[in-house]
Structure 1
Amino acid sequence: MAFKQDAALEMMKRLFSLPEEKLLKIHVDKSQGVKGYLPFQFEDGSKRRAAFSMGRDYTNPEQHFVAVAPGGTVTINQWPEDDLPEFRRIIYDYYQDVFRFARKLLQIFALALGLDERDLDETFRYPLNDITMQYYPIQSPNAQSSITPHADYGGFTLLCQDDVGGLEVLNANGKWIPAPPKKHAYVVNTGSYMEVLSNKRFSATVHRAFGNANSERYSLPFFFNPDPASIVVPHPKLLAKGEKPLLEPQHIGRLSLKGMTTNRPNHPFLRKLKELGLDEDELDYSLFLRPIESIAKERA
C-alpha cells in the first residue's frame, strides 16, 4: 500500500499543477453526483484550497469488485483523461487498496465495541465511499484555519498526508493537538455516523486544518461511509434492555442528498431537483444515479 500512497500523492500534485482551464473541464457542476474538480475557495482575498473528488460509482469497472450498476445508471465520476491519462488507473489502484483496508478496520471497530467482527458489515454493505484530494497553496503567515473546525459525517476517515502537516484534532480536554504526518501512516478520524452506531462509545473527531506559509500542502482523505440505503441506529447489542439510543436515527441516503443541496444549491442537477418540487422525505441518494429526464417524467 505504501507505494500506491506515494503514487497517488504524486498524481494528485500533477493534477493540481494543470492549468485552471483544463481542470474546469471536469468541474463538479458537470457531474450529476457532484464529483470532479472544485476550484479554489477564497477568503479575505486569499486562495485557501482546491479539491478533486471521486466516489462510489458502480458504472466504473474498477468498482465491480463491490457491485455492478444496473443499466441506465448515470456515471458520476469524472477523469482528466486528455491531460493525465494515467490518473484514473493510479488513483483506482490506491482506492481499491484503501477500500479493502477500511473493510478490515471496520471489523476492528466492531471488536473494540465488544461485537462480533462482522456485526457492522451490513450497515456498510455498499458503502458511500469518497476520496477528496485537497490542495492548499502557500498561505500568508496570518491566515486562519483553511478548514474550519468540524467533524466528518460517515463512519470514519482515513487521511493520508504529505510531509507538510497542518492537521489538528480536538482532544477530550478541549485542547487542539497537532496530528503530525508520518510517512505511509493514516490518521483515523471517527465520524458522526459511527458515533450514532456505537451509541457514543466512539465520539466524532473534531478537527481543523491549516495551510503553510512556506510550502504547499496536499492531503488525501478516504471517507468510509455507510450504505446510502441504511438508517443508522445504535447496534442492538450495544443497548441494554429498555435502554434508549442517545442520538437520533440517521437516514444516510436522504442526508447525503440534503447535504449536497445545502452546500451546492446552484449545482445544475440539484437545482433541477428543486424545481421538480420534491418534498424533503423524497430526497434520496438514489436520485443521483437516475437521469433527470426519468425523474421529471415520474413527477409529471
Structure 2
Amino acid sequence: MVRTLYPVSLRRALIRRAASGGVHGFKSTLFRPGYAPLLRVFVPSPDGAWLSDDSVLACEGELKRSGVAQHLRPGDVVWDCALPGEGNVGRLVWDGSYLLDLDYTYSPGGDIPSYIHSLSVAPAYFHKVIRTGPNPIVHADLSPWAAEILAQAQLMQDRHASDIPQGAVGRWVHRSRCRVRGREPIVGVQGMTVDAGWTGTLIIETEGTNEGMAELRERLGAPPPGSKRRSSTVGPPKERARTWRLLRDRSRPGEIWLKAVTDKDRLQ
C-alpha cells in the first residue's frame, strides 16, 4: 500500500504550484519545496530492519501498482514505513529506473548512492530527508572545470586547526576554486543539468601533500605534470573520484565547500 495525502495528479499540481510560489503556506509530509519528496510504502520485511533484494522489488511493485512510479524523478526518496523510523532505516532512493539502497562506505547511517548526480539537485536537497552527519557525502564529476581548478590550486595552511591533547595542530591543504553556473550540462548524462542551487563558487580542498595533488588531478581526469597525454585521453573519474564531503559549517549561499574523500575515510 502506498500512502499519499492526495491523488497523484493533484499532488503533482500542488508541488508545481508550491515550487513556483503559487500555494501560500503549502505544507505536506510528502514534499517541501526545494527538498526531496519522501514517499511512503508499507512492505513488511521478513529480514527485519534490513531490506532484502526481494523486499526492494516489492516496494517498486507497490509504486507501480499505485501509479506513482511514472511520476518519480531521480532523487525522490521512498521510505518503507513498515520498518522502524530510526535513522535511515527503510529509506531508498529512486535513480530514474530502480530503487537503490543507501551507500554505507563512509557512514554507518548511510549516504546517498553514488549513482545519484548531486549537481543535478540543490545542495541541501536531501537535508533531513536522508539523515546524515554534519558534512554529508555528495557525488559530483568536476572534470569540466579541471582547467580552472588546477590553475587556481594553492598550497596553504588550514586555519581550522585540530585540537589534540598536546595542543592545536595546523595542517596543510591544497585548495582551489571554480565558478559554477546553473543549467550547465552535466558531463556524461544526456539531458541533465546543474541545479541553480549550485550557482556560485565551489571551494575544493584536498590533502596538502604530493599525493593529495596527484589525487586531485586524477579526480579531474587531468594527466600528470609533464605528461604528453591530453586531458581528453584520460578516462572518466572512478567512482571515488566523484565522492566529496560537503562542508556545511564553511559553506554559505553562493559558496560551497567540498573536501575530497580518501580511502582513510572508509569505514573499516
Greater relative contact order, per chain length (Cα 8 Å cut-off, separation 6+): 1
Superposition TM-score, scaled by structure 1 size: 0.26
Superposition TM-score, scaled by structure 2 size: 0.28
Q: Which has the larger radius of gyration?
A: 2
Which structure: greater helix fraction?
Answer: 1
